[in-house]
Amino acid sequence: VSDASGCSMIALLHTGAAKFPQNLLPRARKALCSLLPAGVLKDSSIVSRKLASHGFGASMAAMSSFPPQRYHYFLVLDFEATCDKPQIHPQEIIEFPILKLNGRTMEIESTFHMYVQPVVHPQLTPFCTELTGIIQGMVDGQPSLQQVLERVDEWMAKEGLLDPSVKSIFVTCGDWDLKVMLPGQCQYLGLPVADYFKQWINLKK
């Protein structure tokens, strides 16, 4: 399942007893395996066992070494947005996921995930549901983008990511998410874009 950037959408590996949503497994597998070169995790690590239990075993078993990283944390992000054929305007973010990956241990430490209520085109098209796997009931009654951005900021603060001594960077598959989608929608709605969204690593490059 591809989004507007042409890449598979990441999913979130929920902590504790929560389960990976089955419809998001293929998207998460591709994103994580694209981000983590050979040797990121050892089979004995907790996250390796957790990933293996969700079908990541072969990829994890092939990893043996990983070079030091300049960032303390990688924040893997990939939006889903309203869409149709021909494309609707403006597009609106309907799923906002972030996966916090430790740049030293390569363990998944935390996730942020919220669905977003579209306001300009509140009714999802059949094309959008087919492409993203998101049905109308998932976005109805959800917070607005402004509210979600406020919660992202709260999560960033809680995770220590706003500390000037902590180096983190967003990771995306393509430039669409943070160069086009988020700033475009924020401009349309008159919302500011936080500085931490203005720099990212594009996995395609």
Q: Tell me, yes or no, whether 6 lies in a domain.
A: no
Q: Tell me, yes or no, whether 30 lies in a domain.
A: no
- Average of per-residue pLDDT across 63-68: 64
- Residues 105-135 pLDDT 10s: 889 999 999 999 999 999 999 999 999 999 9
Q: Tell me, yes or no, whether 108 lies in a domain.
A: yes
pLDDT of residue 200: 98
- Residues 186-200 pLDDT 10s: 999 999 999 999 999
pLDDT of residue 52: 52
- The answer, yes or no, to whether residue 89 has pLDDT greater than 60, is yes
- Residues 1-39 pLDDT 10s: 344 444 443 333 333 333 334 444 445 545 555 555 443
- The answer, yes or no, to whether residue 102 has pLDDT greater than 80, is yes
How many domains does one find in the chain?
Answer: 1
How far apart CA 167 and CA 76 sit, in angstroms, is: 14
How far apart CA 35 and CA 84 sit, in angstroms, is: 29
Give the position of tokens 């950037």: 5
pLDDT of residue 64: 47
Q: Tell me, yes or no, whether 46 lies in a domain.
A: no
CATH code: domain of residue 89: 3.30.420.10
- The answer, yes or no, to whether residue 57 has pLDDT greater than 90, is no
Q: Tell me, yes or no, whether 164 lies in a domain.
A: yes
Q: Residue 167's domain spans which residues?
A: 73-202
Q: What is the mean pLDDT of the chain?
A: 80
Q: What is the pTM of this model?
A: 0.73
Q: Tell me, yes or no, whether 8 lies in a domain.
A: no
Could you tell me the pLDDT band of residue 68, with boundaries at 50, 70 and 90?
Answer: confident
Q: Tell me, yes or no, whether 79 lies in a domain.
A: yes
How far apart CA 151 and CA 162 sit, in angstroms, is: 14
Q: Tell me, yes or no, whether 2 lies in a domain.
A: no
Q: What is the 3-state secondary structure (H, E, C) of the chain?
A: CECCCCCECCCCCCCCCCCCCHHHHHHHHHHHHHHCCCCCCCCCCHHHHHHHHHHHHHHHHCCCCCCCCCCCEEEEECCEECCCCCCCCCCCEEEEEEEEEECCCCCEEEEEEEECCCCCCCCCCHHHHHHHCCCHHHHCCCCCHHHHHHHHHHHHHHCCCCCCCCCEEEEECCCHHHHHHHHHHHHHHCCCCCHHHCCEEECCC
Strands 168-172 and 200-202, sheet pairing: parallel
